[in-house]
Amino acid sequence: MISWGIKTSKNMEKQSIYLRKVLQSDIKLIFEWANDKDARNNSFKTKEITWAEHETWFENTLKDLKTRHYILCYNGNDIGQIRVKIEEENQGKISYSIDKAYRGLGFGKIILQLCENALLEEFKDFYLYADVKKSNIASQVIFKTLGYNESIENDVFKYNKKININK
């Protein structure tokens, strides 16, 4: 059986699927994922990211008190990342990706669900949103499956959802 959770204690390391916080030592892994071909194509800034740009961005993100950045670990492997940039007190924008070797297996939905759970350990309620390109069907399916409201503006699919500890 797969257990889900945020790693909060040594005991949780035994669980086969969980989120952990991004660490300084993840700088190269996050760089590789950021420059993955599909990740760039599905992003609204498609240009390849240089190492120098990444270094600055990563250091800032790591110390930014308004960013939550997690890695999805599955059976001891790092297989994806999800980031929430908190823009207002309890509202934030989601950005996420799954390592290409693990796509098509349902992990996109799991990482998003675990991230919602993580936020609810900190906030009583929280508004999440994401912008998705028209061509990114997998991501559209994931947000719809998890109950996000959908609207379309200028060919961009916009998703939002209020998450609440009581739900």
Ligand X SMILES: CC(C)(COP(=O)(O)OP(=O)(O)OC[C@H]1O[C@@H](n2cnc3c(N)ncnc32)[C@H](O)[C@@H]1OP(=O)(O)O)[C@@H](O)C(=O)NCCC(=O)NCCS
Q: Is the CB of residue 157 less than 8 Å from the CB of residue 123?
A: no
Q: Is the CB of residue 5 less than 8 Å from the CB of residue 15?
A: yes
Q: DSSP labels for 119-166? A: HHTT-SEEEEEEEEETT-HHHHHHHHHTT-EEEEETTEEEEEEEEETT
Q: Which stretch binds ligand X (CB under 6 A): 22-30, 44-52, 54-62, 94-102?
A: 94-102
How many residues comprise the chain?
167
Rounded to 10 degrees, the C-alpha dihedral 125/86/107/32 comes to: -170
Among 54, 142, 148, 161, contact with ligand X (rule: CB under 6 A): 142
Q: Which is nearer to ligand X, 137 or 152 (CB)?
A: 137
User: Alpha-carbon distance 69 to 39, whole Å?
Assistant: 16
- Check binding of 90 to ligand X (CB under 6 A): no
Among 16, 28, 32, 38, contact with ligand X (rule: CB under 6 A): 38
Closest-approach residue to ligand X (CB): 108
Q: Which is nearer to ligand X, 65 or 101 (CB)?
A: 101
- Check binding of 136 to ligand X (CB under 6 A): yes
Locate 10 and state its tokens: 């040594």
Among 23, 137, 156, 165, contact with ligand X (rule: CB under 6 A): 137
- Check binding of 104 to ligand X (CB under 6 A): yes
Q: Which residues bind ligand X (CB under 6 A)?
A: 38-39, 42, 96-98, 103-109, 130, 132, 136-139, 141-142, 145
